[in-house]
């Protein structure tokens, strides 16, 4: 019972780490531009399809394919910023950017189906299929790698955001672009950097999730939704929150699937999301702003 629970916890944390990486990428963009990139899931899916094509069909080495895919995904993300975000007029209701990002997600999904077809593709793994076993607890190597990567990215982004000029400039650009520009911050440049980073992260995420789930054009929607849910659960714009949100969602999904049945796994994780947001509308570690009147 204990070893089963421990194995399931690792599986939950692994899938949660994937959601956390999605949430981190969403937060990077949100920190710089105050828009939620609803296309992040489809960008990761597209990166996965590009990656699997490079490795399996064209025979490129794994790490070279990862670098190439990350570069290509960064360019696509920059194009999204240039074509679908930057031209948008200021909108107090937020409707224009929401529609724009949803449209981009749909375009990426349709383009992927046209280019790569609809069949699922097996993503090559660096590891043999054999599990790692310790004291009766079993885990796939891919699961452990996903957890380690999420931790590294969270730490890296937190350090960059709080202790570097780049991070502070990004925050300033998001909070008050006009004021940031007045003090010499190249607002557009920082926003572009944020989108490119999110694109590269989409590639990393796809290389981590691919061996666990296969890659299909449908993967984008579920990754995008779960990534946004993890970001909202943790608190939009907070990197620690993204990882906490991803871990909670992943664990809730895996454990509820295991003990309550497959039919309820998605419902349970989304109910948890709703409950937390009712009591903590800014998320678990989101900053609470006091409005003085």
Nearest-approach distance from CB 126 to another protein, in angstroms: 13
* CB-based burial label for 118 (10 Å; 0-12, 13-18, 19+): exposed
Round to whole Å and give the CA distance between 172 and 179: 8
Backbone phi, psi, residue 134, to 5°: -145, 120
Taking CB under 8 A as the rule, does residue 130 contact another protein? Answer: yes
Taking CB under 8 A as the rule, does residue 247 contact another protein? Answer: no
Binding mask 49-88 for another protein (x = CB under 8 A): ----------------------------------------
DSSP-assigned states of every residue in 88-149? PPP-TT-HHHHHHHHHHHHHHHHHHHHHH-SS-BPPP-SS-SPPEEETTEEE-HHHHHHHHH
Q: Is 239 helix (H, G, I), strand (E, B) or coil?
A: helix
Nearest-approach distance from CB 134 to another protein, in angstroms: 12
Round to whole Å and give the CA distance between 115 and 44: 15
Taking CB under 8 A as the rule, does residue 261 contact another protein? Answer: yes
**Closest to 35 measured CA to CA, from 98, 103, 88, 106:** 98
Nearest-approach distance from CB 215 to another protein, in angstroms: 10
Query: 62 or 259: whose CB is closer to another protein?
Result: 259
Binding mask 88-107 for another protein (x = CB under 8 A): --------------------
The DSSP H or E segment spanning 182 is helix 177-182
**Closest to 194 measured CA to CA, from 74, 102, 87:** 74
Binding mask 194-213 for another protein (x = CB under 8 A): ------------------xx
Taking CB under 8 A as the rule, does residue 8 contact another protein? Answer: yes
Nearest-approach distance from CB 262 to another protein, in angstroms: 4
Distances 158 to 70, 154, 173, 229 between C-alpha atoms, Å: 21, 6, 17, 20
Query: 75 or 148: whose CB is closer to another protein?
Result: 148
Nearest-approach distance from CB 39 to another protein, in angstroms: 21
Task: Please pick, from the candidates 110, 118, 162, 164, the single residue that binds another protein as defined by CB under 8 A.
Answer: 118
Q: Applying CB under 8 A, which part among 5-13, 186-194, 224-232, 285-293 lies near another protein?
A: 5-13
Task: Please pick, from the candidates 2, 263, 278, 288, the single residue that binds another protein as defined by CB under 8 A.
Answer: 263
Query: 90 or 129: whose CB is closer to another protein?
Result: 129
Contacts of 135 (CB under 8 A, 6+ apart): 3
Query: 68 or 141: whose CB is closer to another protein?
Result: 141
Round to whole Å and give the CA distance between 53 and 245: 32
Per CB under 8 A, residues contacting another protein are 4, 7-8, 11, 15, 118-122, 129-131, 133, 138-140, 142-143, 212-214, 222, 254, 257-259, 261-263, 265-266
């Amino acid at each position: 019972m204990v070893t089963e629970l421990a194995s399931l916890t690792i599986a939950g944390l692994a899938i949660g780490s994937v959601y956390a990486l999605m949430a981190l990428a969403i937060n990077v963009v949100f920190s710089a531009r105050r828009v939620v990139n609803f296309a992040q899931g489809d960008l990761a899916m597209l990166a996965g399809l590009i990656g699997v094509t490079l490795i399996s069909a064209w025979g490129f080495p794994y790490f070279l394919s990862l670098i190439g895919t990350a570069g290509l995904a960064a360019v696509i993300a920059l194009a999204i910023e240039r074509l679908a975000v930057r031209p948008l007029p200021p909108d107090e209701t937020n409707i224009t950017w929401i529609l724009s990002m949803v449209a981009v997600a749909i375009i990426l999904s349709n383009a992927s189906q046209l280019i790569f077809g609809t069949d699922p593709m097996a993503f090559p793994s660096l590891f043999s299929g054999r599990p790692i076993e310790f004291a009766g607890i079993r885990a796939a190597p891919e699961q452990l790698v996903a957890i380690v990567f999420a931790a590294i990215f969270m730490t890296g982004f937190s350090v960059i955001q709080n202790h570097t000029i780049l991070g502070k400039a990004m925050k300033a650009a998001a909070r008050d672009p006009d004021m940031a520009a007045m003090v010499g911050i190249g607002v557009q440049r920082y926003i572009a950097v944020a989108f490119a980073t999110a694109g590269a992260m989409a590639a990393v995420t796809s290389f981590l999730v691919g061996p666990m789930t296969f890659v299909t054009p449908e993967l984008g929607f579920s990754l995008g939704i779960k990534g946004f849910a993890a970001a909202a659960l943790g608190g939009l714009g907070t990197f620690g929150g993204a990882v906490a949100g991803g871990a909670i969602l992943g664990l809730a999904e895996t454990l509820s699937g295991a003990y309550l049945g497959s039919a309820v796994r998605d419902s349970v994780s989304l109910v948890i999301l709703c409950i937390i947001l009712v009591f903590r509308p800014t998320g678990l570690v989101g900053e609470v702003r006091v409005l003085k009147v």
